[in-house]
Amino acid sequence: MTSLDQTGISDVKPIIVENRQPTVADGQQDCCDQIITSENFCLHYGKKVGVRNITMDIYPCAVTAIIGPSGCGKSTFLRSINRMNDLIPGAQASGMLAVNGQDVYSKQINLVNLRQQVGMVFQRPNPFPKSVYDNISYGPRLQGIRKRSRLDDIVEKCLRDAALWQEVKDELKRSALALSGGQQQRLCIARALATGPKVLLMDEPCSALDPVATGRVEQLIRTLKSDYTIVIVTHNMQQAARVSDRTAFFCLGDLIEYGLTRDVFTNPVNRQTEDYITGRFG
């Protein structure tokens, strides 16, 4: 990260173009306060910088895309929201990151509650080597739901929400690993939905999928955004343009630009953003 200072990129202040509340015209039904707030949030892996001075608000019932070149900290930021970075030894956070008004990195936080409120879908489909049913009911069981009928209901609802019900309803007892890659990823989304989260974090959910499966997952994301707040990290700028309402551009650990997707893609304020979007970056 020494090159960071040499290039002078670190001096670039994040330009928050759009910080007003979304309007109906933006495609949002209800106008509510931001669900995730981040103020000067930094995360270091030992001496290495993951992200620094991230100040951005993420709004509910919308899809927020985070784009940027590899190693720019977009995944790091995403994983900070439900504290998955804790697993990495030496990770240290500073600044403020709040979900639903509650500081994620405070000592009082209940990690179990946080992670059940903030679901996560990973880059590669990672269903447990268990049956479809057991995969979905894993989260509710953690919450202490033991009643069979209740679990059945949750499984069905989540699979319907994830648009997978029609395909697997007859083989809920089959191993999840027998499903195709796209189905597995939708199953993972259904599994994340089963804990009843408000926020859904997606870490490049389509990078391991073929175009058809990608299309279905994107379709699913568009459907889900009416009920959930979705934050999606993607390498695919077309995808960000297709599914997201807002886009944030990260570069080398800094937030460069954040605004409505339409604005960011058609009329970027920052030259770096423009270079990146038009493919002249580097």
Partner 1 sequence: MRKRLRLFGDKIFVAASGLSVLLLTVALVLVLGPLLWRGAGAIVFRGTVEFRRMQYDLHGRGKRESLEAELAETAQARRKVYDLLDRFAAGIDTTKAQDQVRHTYRQFKTQLRNKVENGAITSEEASSLKYGGKRLRNWLLEVYETTNAQEANRNLDYILAQADDERLAGSAARRFFELAGAYRQIVATVDLARRQEYAGALDEVQKIIRELLGPRPNETTPDLAQFQYGATRWGRAQLLLDNLLWVERWVAQGPGKPLKKVRTRRAEQFAGTELAPLLPMVQQNLHRMLRPRRTFHWRYFIDDSTPGHFFGGVGPEILGTLLLTLLSMVFAIPLGVTAAGYLVECTSEGRFVRVIRTCINTLAGVPSIVFGLFGLAFFVLYLQPRLGLPRGSSILAGAMTLAVLVLPVLIRAAEEAIRAVPRSYKEASLALGAGKFRTFMTVTLPAAAPGILTGLILSMSRAAGETAPILFTAAVALGPIPRSLTQPTRTLSYGSYDIAVGDRLAAMVPHQQYGMVMTLIVLVLILNLTAIIIRRRLEAKLRGH
Find the binder of partner 1 among 82, 234, 247, 261 (CB under 8 A): 82
Label residue 106 exposed, middle or buried (CB < 10 Å: 0-12, 13-18, 19+): exposed
Determine the interface stretch with partner 1 among 49-57, 97-105, 190-198, 240-248 (rule: CB under 8 A). Answer: 190-198
Find the binder of partner 1 among 44, 52, 191, 225 (CB under 8 A): 191
**Residue 151 Cβ vs partner 1, minimum distance, rounded to whole Å:** 14
Q: Is residue 192 near partner 1 by the rule CB under 8 A? A: yes
Token pair recorded at residue 118: 């903030």
- Which CB sits closer to partner 1, 130 or 235? 130
Q: Is residue 113 near partner 1 by the rule CB under 8 A? A: yes
Q: Is residue 126 near partner 1 by the rule CB under 8 A? A: yes
Tell me which residue of 200, 220, 190, 195 sits closest to 64, measured CA to CA.
Answer: 200
Neighbours of 163 (CB within 10 A): 17
**Residue 138 Cβ vs partner 1, minimum distance, rounded to whole Å:** 6
**Residue 66 Cβ vs partner 1, minimum distance, rounded to whole Å:** 17
Find the angle CA(214)-CA(232)-CA(2) to the nearest 5 degrees. Answer: 120
Find the binder of partner 1 among 31, 32, 112, 212 (CB under 8 A): 112
- Which CB sits closer to partner 1, 22 or 139? 139
Q: Is residue 88 near partner 1 by the rule CB under 8 A? A: no
**Residue 115 Cβ vs partner 1, minimum distance, rounded to whole Å:** 4
Q: Is residue 188 near partner 1 by the rule CB under 8 A? A: yes
Q: Is residue 142 near partner 1 by the rule CB under 8 A? A: yes
Label residue 59 exposed, middle or buried (CB < 10 Å: 0-12, 13-18, 19+): buried
Q: Is residue 217 near partner 1 by the rule CB under 8 A? A: no
Q: What distance in Å separates the CA atoms of residue 228 and residue 155, rounded to the nearest whole number?
A: 18
Find the binder of partner 1 among 42, 95, 124, 156 (CB under 8 A): 124
Q: Is residue 120 near partner 1 by the rule CB under 8 A? A: yes
β-strand partners of 258: 16, 248
**Residue 182 Cβ vs partner 1, minimum distance, rounded to whole Å:** 15
Q: Is residue 50 near partner 1 by the rule CB under 8 A? A: no
Q: What distance in Å separates the CA atoms of residue 107 and residue 111, rounded to the nearest whole number?
A: 10
- Confirm if 222 and 232 have CB atoms less than 8 A apart: no
Q: What is the contact surface with partner 1 in residues (CB under 8 A)?
A: 82, 84, 87, 89, 111-116, 119-120, 122, 124, 126-130, 138-139, 142-143, 174-179, 188, 191-192, 195
